[in-house]
Amino acid sequence: MLKVNGIDVFYGNIQALHGVSLEINQGEIVTLIGANGAGKSTLLKAISGLLKPKQGDIVYEGTSISGRAAQAIVKEGISHVPEGRRVFANMTVEENLELGAFLRKDKDGIRQDFAKVYELFPRLLERKKQLSGTLSGGEQQMLAMGRALMARPKLLLLDEPSMGLAPLLVKTIFRIIEEINQAGTTVLLVEQNANMALSIADRAYVIETGRVVLSGTAEELNASDQIKMAYLGGH
């Protein structure tokens, strides 16, 4: 579904990604594991069109999307839930969700997706007339995910969905990611909580200082001593 071929990405003169390659098959949950500043968010931004690779190519469903505008990439079926949630604080929950569907014209489909989002996140239904800035962190995370789903993506990019959330809420968010995936959406997940990420992923890539240093099935990485030492708090 998605092939990233040897991309280099820079912030000014600083190289953030060095020849990164990965692939995602339709229907998978793939997770990116790595320390803060390793380049995981940069990779998501390159895929969603927020950053332009200097070298290499990003191919989605057989077509190169490298360097295309972010809104064109959303139209193709890729939605990005950025780190830190980024909801529109002075708009209601419902208005935020409407924005997620702004490129769509199918009124019936949009209505169905509102119902689906409220089914996945009942809390948002209770709060639909409330200003998003007044929601808790967990509720804002739900809203950011719901808003991305309103674009009806085929591929969902999730950047640190559990950041700053209470453990119980983290479990809820991960259960919902699995539900979204089972309903047919492919997921690329960036997550500091490597244990949780590997528990739901099919495959994983480990990124260190802008390079992919390891990849394999979630089981393989879970069993790797190198990964246990570095990311899973194991010995």
* Structure confidence by residue, pLDDT tens digits, 113-135: 999 999 999 999 999 999 999 99
Domains, the chain, with CATH or none: 1-77+192-235 (3.40.50.300)
pLDDT in tens, 193-209: 888 899 999 999 999 99
CB 20 within 8 A of CB 211: yes
Q: Is the pTM higher than 0.85?
A: yes
- What pLDDT is recorded for position 216? 94
pLDDT above 70 (res 19): yes
> With b meaning 16 or more CB within 10 Å and e meaning fewer, what string describes 207-233?
beebebebbeebeebbebeebeebbbe
Q: Provide the pLDDT confidence category of residue 234 given band limits of 50, 70 and 90.
A: low
Running DSSP on this structure, what letter comes out for residue 86?
A: -
Residue 210 backbone dihedrals phi, psi, to 5 degrees = 80, 10
Distance from C-alpha of 152 to C-alpha of 29, rounded to nearest angstrom? 17
Distance from C-alpha of 210 to C-alpha of 188, rounded to nearest angstrom? 17
CB 86 within 8 A of CB 159: no
